[in-house]
Chains A and B, each alone.
Chain A
């Protein structure tokens, strides 16, 4: 059964949502907490009647941080649709914002849609994803003496990446695509400090940018041999770095974007991969 977290919901909102979801989901109603582990939830709903957008955005970002890049949609709820401003909720990690005054059948239908489990990777997709999973684990282990645990894959259409720093490699040739590794700042700093065998406080932004670029270069380069054997032929671009929460990275038209999540201890990072064959 799916598990849904209702955060900061008032009694009326809790009752309405519980009645909608109780038949196919376990509902947990709690005040917002920065410590709450979220990775075993399928959906998080955050209610707010506040007009303080900065406070809401901080909560959304914190929720996203605790999903550890898993496929856990965060829905922002308000009482009335006119209470939503043009603030960049999406850029901070919200999948949807909804008002409780919307007609219940539509509201219910949208929520049920978010509870549907995403599709599993197809066999042909696993052929190109597996080398990246293996090379990611190898690079972290050999270069940073850190064990990266693969946690799963899902697919997304959005180009938005909710992380602090991404290393991007373009693939060109008879296979085209993009491979992106994204870290939150703290884990990026730890990884680069381990690679350079220095203390974390000796790591500056330039080292992180350089190191994250080199990591995605190594991951893509290491995966290339297995991919060539599977008839995915491409050249690697020089890596580029993008910094800033909610950045967007382009992928080839009509490409499926696979999202691979990894844990390192109690932190997480993510790989976005799109490959198309001409």
Chain B
């Protein structure tokens, strides 16, 4: 399965990539929401999951989540928000906008993988 990892931190993208590699996933990296949308436009239906940070420059993860969920071509792709925002209002906003799960940073690789498995299964 192809996965988009959208986070403005290279370090986070690297550890997420490392965490999902044993699952056999290929990752495509984006440093903000706009780049995630560009990858989606190119890859189309080949993307099976998006892991999205919230606070990013250019286009934040919430705006990207809303755009993707409003686009009938991509709306069925599960999106897991992966963010340091621990505020419950943000969790609700993400859920209302169609996020499949909300993983709070800091996370262990096991916690991330567990959340991914729950969403994919």
Query: Which A residues lie at the B interface, using CB under 8 A?
Result: 138-139, 142-143, 192, 195-197, 206-207, 210-211, 213-214, 217-218, 220-225, 228, 236, 238
Which of B8, B11, B106 meets A222, CB within 8 Å? B106
Asked if residues B10 and A197 are in contact (CB atoms below 8 Å), the reply is no
Assuming A211-B11, A238-B57, what are 11 further A-B pairs, CB within 8 angstroms?
A: A195-B15, A196-B11, A196-B15, A210-B9, A210-B11, A217-B55, A223-B86, A224-B85, A224-B86, A224-B87, A236-B55
For the complex formed, measure the closest distance between the CB of B85 and the CB atoms of chain A, giving whole angstroms: 5
In the complex, which residues of chain B have a beta carbon less than 8 angstroms from the beta carbon of A139? Answer: 106
For the complex formed, measure the closest distance between the CB of B54 and the CB atoms of chain A, giving whole angstroms: 9
Asked if residues B108 and A142 are in contact (CB atoms below 8 Å), the reply is yes
For the complex formed, measure the closest distance between the CB of A238 and the CB atoms of chain B, giving whole angstroms: 6
Majority SS at the chain B contact face: loop
CA distance A211 to B87 in the complex (A): 22
CA distance A139 to B84 in the complex (A): 10
In the complex, which residues of chain B have a beta carbon less than 8 angstroms from the beta carbon of A197? Answer: 15, 18
State which size class the interface on B falls in: 20 to 34
Asked if residues B55 and A213 are in contact (CB atoms below 8 Å), the reply is no
For the complex formed, measure the closest distance between the CB of A145 and the CB atoms of chain B, giving whole angstroms: 9
CA distance A207 to B57 in the complex (A): 18
* Closest B residue by C-beta to A141: B106
CA distance A195 to B83 in the complex (A): 16
Asked if residues A225 and B11 are in contact (CB atoms below 8 Å), the reply is no
In the complex, which residues of chain B have a beta carbon less than 8 angstroms from the beta carbon of A238? Answer: 8, 55-57
> Is B88 in the interface zone, CB < 8 Å from A?
yes
* Closest A residue by C-beta to B54: A221
In the complex, which residues of chain B have a beta carbon less than 8 angstroms from the beta carbon of A228? Answer: 87
CA distance A236 to B86 in the complex (A): 11
For the complex formed, measure the closest distance between the CB of B32 and the CB atoms of chain A, giving whole angstroms: 10
For the complex formed, measure the closest distance between the CB of B108 and the CB atoms of chain A, giving whole angstroms: 6
Asked if residues A196 and B14 are in contact (CB atoms below 8 Å), the reply is yes
> Is B25 in the interface zone, CB < 8 Å from A?
no
In the complex, which residues of chain B have a beta carbon less than 8 angstroms from the beta carbon of A221? Answer: 55, 83-86, 104-105
Majority SS at the chain A contact face: helix
A selection of 22 A-B contacts at a CB cut-off of 8 Å is A143-B15, A143-B106, A192-B11, A195-B11, A195-B15, A196-B14, A196-B15, A206-B10, A207-B10, A207-B11, A211-B9, A214-B11, A214-B12, A218-B84, A218-B105, A218-B106, A221-B104, A221-B105, A224-B87, A236-B55, A236-B84, A238-B56
For the complex formed, measure the closest distance between the CB of A96 and the CB atoms of chain B, giving whole angstroms: 39
Which of A220, A222, A236 meets B104, CB within 8 Å? A222
CA distance A258 to B21 in the complex (A): 41
Q: Chain B 75-89 against A: per-residue CB contact (8 Å), 1 yes, 0 no? A: 000000001111110
CA distance A139 to B104 in the complex (A): 11
Asked if residues B57 and A225 are in contact (CB atoms below 8 Å), the reply is no
* Closest B residue by C-beta to A145: B108
CA distance A195 to B12 in the complex (A): 9
CA distance A207 to B15 in the complex (A): 12
Give the residue among A138, A206, A224 with the most B Cβ atoms within 10 A. Answer: A224
* Closest B residue by C-beta to A198: B14
Interface positions, chain B 69-121, Cβ under 8 Å from A, are 83-88, 104-108
In the complex, which residues of chain B have a beta carbon less than 8 angstroms from the beta carbon of A207? Answer: 10-11
Asked if residues A222 and B15 are in contact (CB atoms below 8 Å), the reply is no
In the complex, which residues of chain A have a beta carbon less than 8 angstroms from the beta carbon of B15? Answer: 143, 195-197
CA distance A88 to B19 in the complex (A): 47
CA distance A225 to B18 in the complex (A): 28
Which of A192, A196, A236 meets B85, CB within 8 Å? A236
In the complex, which residues of chain B have a beta carbon less than 8 angstroms from the beta carbon of A196? Answer: 11, 14-15, 18
